[in-house]
Amino acid sequence: MDFGSHTPYIVVAYGASIVALAGLIAMRLRRFKAAQRGESENREAGD
C-alpha cells in the first residue's frame, strides 16, 4: 500500500477502525455467550 505522503494517515485511520470494530464485535459476542451460559447453568441448577 503506497499512498505517498498520506500513507501513515490512511493506515492509522483504517487500522483504528478495524481494531475498534473487531473489539466491539468480540465484546458483544463474549457478553452474549456469557448470558447464554448463565441461563443454561441456571436452568440446569433449577432442574
Partner 1 sequence: MWSRFSNPAKFEGLARVAAPVAMGVFAVCAAYGLVAGLFFAPAEQYQGESARIMYVHVPAAWMAMAAYSFIALMSLVAFVWRHSLADMAARSAATPGAVFTALALFTGAVWGKPTWGAFWVWDARLTSMLLLLFVYFGYMAVWQAVPEQARAARFARILALVGFINIPIIKFSVEWWNSLHQPASIIRADGPTIDPSMLWPLLAMITAYTALFTWLVFLGMRADLARQRAEKRVARKASRPVAAVTQA
Interatomic CA distance for residues 24 and 21, integer angstroms: 5
Alpha-carbon torsion, ordered 16, 21, 22, 28, to 10 deg: 150
22 binds partner 1 (CB under 8 A): no
Q: Is 44 in the site for partner 1 (CB under 8 A)?
A: no
Report d(CA 8, CA 16) in Å as an integer.
12
Q: How far is the CB of 36 from partner 1 (least distance, A)?
A: 5
Under rule CB under 8 A, residue 38 binds partner 1 = yes
If one asks whether residue 46 binds partner 1 (CB under 8 A), the answer comes out as: yes
> Residue count at the site for partner 1 (CB under 8 A)?
30
